Amino acid sequence: MVLNKRGLHWGFIIAMITGLIVVGIGYFIFHESSTDGDIHWEGCRQSLVARNMLPEKDLAIAVASTKGALPLKCGTKIINIDYEDLERAEKEVAETISSCWYMYGKGEYRIFPSSAWSGSELNTPCMVCARIHLDKEVREFYSDNIREDGRIDIKYSLDGQLEGYGVSFWEYLNPDRGGKAFMYFNDWAEEGFSIEIHEEPNLISAEIPDDVKAFNFPQYLDPEKGDLFIFYVQPTVKIPMSSDFAVEPYMGLVQYDNFDKLSEPWVEYSGGQYAKVCSSIESAPA
């Protein structure tokens, strides 16, 4: 291993420089050709790309990840629905969810250090990508309009066609092959976000089986339950029949009234070990 005087591997330095170049080029391009909202969105994505390029471990003593060396230029993107148009609103919800999945590399990026355990808790860092807000002037419209009880139907919106891809939003988010945005999705729920806790009897294993379906997402954007948050999770889980671990990112949907449920466990192991939906949250709501 070749080290410089500071004890860092040359690969780390090269990756860092490359990452900074990517961020710089990306910012210049989108600063010149996009609106302020697009600059924010793409600025975040370029910093995610750069963070993904950094090696997981490359220090002389390999005990720390380099993922945190490059700061993310990300906040929660706020989408304000201030118009009375159910079809337009549902399309905007579907586009925002899909844009978030795209921004995080459709599950292929590795944003956070891959660490399986923090004490008795499985490491599941989260980021809140976007927040969809119903302006107070239009909430009554989305409560009283005609379709069910008038609320924006998230399930229905994702059945719409994603322009330029030849598939529905749902198919884009959950392809037959590759990463799925809603990997542990169980069902749509009228009452809002809920968790079906999975009990894993193996004390040692951090394995989460592929067939676990634990999360029920809100089918409707209910004006009475506050903003809709689109969050990204990067858990580190055990590979079946192996001593190795893998990162399996996914996304979730929750309204403000249920936001505290993200701190609840959804996998429980014998011996007091558990996995929260989110062990830590960046860009949490104010």
* Secondary structure (DSSP) of 168-223: EHHHHHS-SSS--TTTTEEEEETT--EE-PEEE--SS-----TT---EEEESEE-G
Beta carbons of 204 and 271 less than 8 angstroms apart: no
The reported pLDDT for the residue numbered 241 is 63
Question: Once rounded to an integer, what is the mean pLDDT over residues 252-268?
Answer: 93
Q: What is the pairing mode between strands 167-168 and 161-162?
A: antiparallel
Unique residue bearing structure tokens 């392809």: 175
The reported pLDDT for the residue numbered 240 is 63
Q: How does residue 150 score in pLDDT terms, banded at 50, 70 and 90? A: low
Report H helices in the chain: 10-33, 36-53, 86-103, 139-144, 154-158, 169-173
Indicate the domain borders of the chain.
1-74, 75-282
- From 87, 91, 70, select the one nearest 79 (Cα to Cα): 91
Give the H/E segment covering residue 146.
Answer: none
Q: How many percent of the chain have pLDDT more than 90?
A: 38
- From 133, 134, 116, select the one nearest 76 (Cα to Cα): 133
What length does the chain have? 286
Residue 280 has pLDDT above 90, yes or no: no
The reported pLDDT for the residue numbered 201 is 59
Question: Once rounded to an integer, what is the mean pLDDT over residues 44-68?
Answer: 69
Q: How does residue 28 score in pLDDT terms, banded at 50, 70 and 90? A: very low
Of residues 26 and 268, more confidence is placed in 268
Handedness of CA 219, 221, 227, 228 (dihedral sign): positive
Q: How many percent of the chain have pLDDT more than 70?
A: 70
What is the pTM (predicted TM-score) of this model? 0.79
Based on DSSP, count helices (H) and strands (E) in the chain, helices before strands: 6, 19
Of residues 34 and 49, more confidence is placed in 49
